[in-house]
């Protein structure tokens, strides 16, 4: 759905995006994570044909960047960092205006505007000026604007920043609904928990792509796999027995919890549990060790810098 090769953008002496290679698959939610100033917004502007690359190429929804720019803009939807709505106009008039700019035929325009106003729960307030809306309501209108013309790819730049939990959940549900419709979502966010919950794959980015993979694989790559076993009463021999199990790389004991590092949890976990039971340990809980995406992100970024 989207492929960039050596995409570069320089602003005089500053290289904002440096030889970006990226491939985004159809129908996935693709997370684009990076620190402030990493060039995420510039990347979105490049991929939505708002600014021209200094070098490199990209193909977006089947259109060539630099050759089919108007077609790319027609095929993608963009939620910018700020809602950017006409405050004196109503939600209805804002959406109707953009539907016209995207060239939606009359009947479809009316239907799409109504669909999104109802979907966002704004139908009853559709004629109120945007200036009277809360931040969350404005963000909903801005997302509706980005999705109005049924784009194949939707770029979302920090869609839940500044929203209360209810509004953020609505936005997240909408992202999942867009994916369910088969649309590709390119999600720029600082909210790593959100990225973890929503994204099929994640790119860690700082001027160029640092790493691309699923959240699970990134975790495993950085921290490996481990299992946490809570015992009713832990003793040193329990630890020694677990350390002796084949497939266990390392084991450590904190209070009454054993942390067991292993390469193949599916094969090794049953052996560990059997070994513990054999030495008389009372196993209370067994859980899969899962570092937060934030830990993974920080670790990878630290390695890079």
Partner 1 sequence: MSATVAYVPRRTAVVRAVVLREWREALTNKLLIGMTFLPPLVILAAGIGAVAAAAANPPNERDIQALYAAAPAVRGLDPKEAVQGIIAQYFLILFLMIPTIVPLTIAIYSVIGEKANRTLEPLLATPAGVGDLLIAKSIAAMVPAVLVTWLAYFIYLLAVAKVGSGPAQNAVLSPRWLAAMTLMVPLLTLLSVNLGVLISTRVNDIRVAQQIGGLIVVPVVAIGIAQVTGRVVLDDAPILATSVGLFVLDAALIAVARVLFQRENILVRWR
Q: How far is the CB of 45 from partner 1 (least distance, A)?
A: 7
93 binds partner 1 (CB under 8 A): yes
85 binds partner 1 (CB under 8 A): yes
Binding residues for partner 1, total number by CB under 8 A: 44
Closer residue to partner 1 (CB): 150 or 295: 150
The 3-state DSSP class for residue 204 equals strand
Phi, psi (degrees; rounded to nearest 5) at 272: -65, -45
Chain centre to alpha carbon of residue 208 = 17
290 binds partner 1 (CB under 8 A): no
Q: How far is CA 189 from CA 93, 256, 268, 290, in A?
A: 29, 37, 36, 21
**Identified binder of partner 1 from the candidate list 13, 36, 103, 166, rule CB under 8 A:** 103
Q: Helix, strand, coil % (nearest 5) of the chain?
A: 40, 30, 30
Q: How far is the CB of 188 from partner 1 (least distance, A)?
A: 14
**Identified binder of partner 1 from the candidate list 19, 74, 253, 273, rule CB under 8 A:** 74
What is the rounded CA–CA span in Å between residue 59 and residue 42? 16
Which two three-digit tokens encode residue 209? 């792509």
Paired residues of 206 in beta bridges: 208
Are the beta carbons of 21 and 4 closer than 8 angstroms? yes
Closer residue to partner 1 (CB): 15 or 243: 15
Q: How far is the CB of 162 from partner 1 (least distance, A)?
A: 14
Residues 17-46 that bind partner 1 (CB under 8 A): 45
Beta strands in 220-290 (DSSP E): 225-231, 248-254, 257-262, 283-288
Are the beta carbons of 189 and 195 closer than 8 angstroms? yes
104 binds partner 1 (CB under 8 A): yes
Are the beta carbons of 143 and 156 closer than 8 angstroms? yes
**Identified binder of partner 1 from the candidate list 8, 43, 48, 139, rule CB under 8 A:** 48
What is the rounded CA–CA span in Å between residue 202 and residue 216? 10
**Identified binder of partner 1 from the candidate list 50, 119, 222, 273, rule CB under 8 A:** 50
Stretch that binds partner 1, among 89-97, 167-175, 195-203, 232-240 (CB under 8 A): 89-97
**Identified binder of partner 1 from the candidate list 13, 105, 107, 236, rule CB under 8 A:** 105
Are the beta carbons of 191 and 197 closer than 8 angstroms? no
**Identified binder of partner 1 from the candidate list 32, 56, 65, 80, rule CB under 8 A:** 80
71 binds partner 1 (CB under 8 A): yes
Closer residue to partner 1 (CB): 57 or 256: 57
Give the residues lining the site for partner 1 (CB under 8 A).
1, 3, 11, 45, 48, 50-52, 59, 61-63, 68, 70-71, 73-76, 78, 80, 82-89, 93, 97-98, 100-105, 129, 142, 145, 149, 151-152
């Amino acid at each position: 759905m989207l492929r960039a090769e050596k995409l570069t953008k320089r602003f005089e002496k500053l290289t904002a995006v440096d030889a970006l290679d990226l491939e985004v698959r159809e129908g996935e939610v693709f997370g684009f994570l990076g620190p402030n100033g990493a060039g995420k917004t510039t990347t979105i502007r490049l991929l939505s044909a708002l600014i021209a690359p200094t070098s490199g190429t990209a193909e977006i929804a089947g259109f060539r960047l630099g050759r089919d720019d108007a077609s790319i803009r027609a095929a993608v939807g963009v939620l910018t960092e700020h809602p950017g709505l006409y405050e004196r106009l109503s939600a209805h008039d804002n959406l109707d205006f953009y539907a016209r700019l995207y060239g939606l035929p009359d009947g479809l325009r009316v239907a799409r505007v109504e669909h999104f106003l109802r979907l966002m729960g704004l139908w009853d307030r559709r004629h109120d000026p945007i200036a009277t809306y809360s931040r969350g309501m404005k963000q909903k209108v801005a997302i509706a604007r980005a999705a109005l013309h049924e784009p194949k790819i939707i770029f979302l730049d920090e869609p839940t920043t500044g929203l209360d939990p209810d509004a953020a959940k609505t936005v997240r549900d909408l992202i999942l609904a867009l994916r369910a419709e088969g649309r590709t979502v390119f999600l720029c966010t600082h909210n790593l928990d959100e990225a973890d919950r929503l994204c099929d794959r994640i790119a860690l980015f700082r001027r160029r792509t640092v790493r691309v993979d699923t959240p699970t694989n990134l975790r495993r790559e950085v921290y490996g796999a481990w299992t946490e076993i809570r015992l009713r009463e832990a003793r040193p021999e329990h630890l020694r027995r677990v350390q002796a199990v084949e497939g266990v790389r390392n084991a450590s004991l904190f209070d009454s919890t054993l942390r067991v590092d292993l390469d193949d949890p599916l094969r090794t976990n049953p052996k560990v549990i059997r070994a513990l039971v054999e030495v008389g340990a009372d196993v209370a809980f067994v859980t899969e060790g899962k570092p937060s995406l934030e830990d993974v992100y920080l670790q990878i970024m630290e390695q890079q810098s």
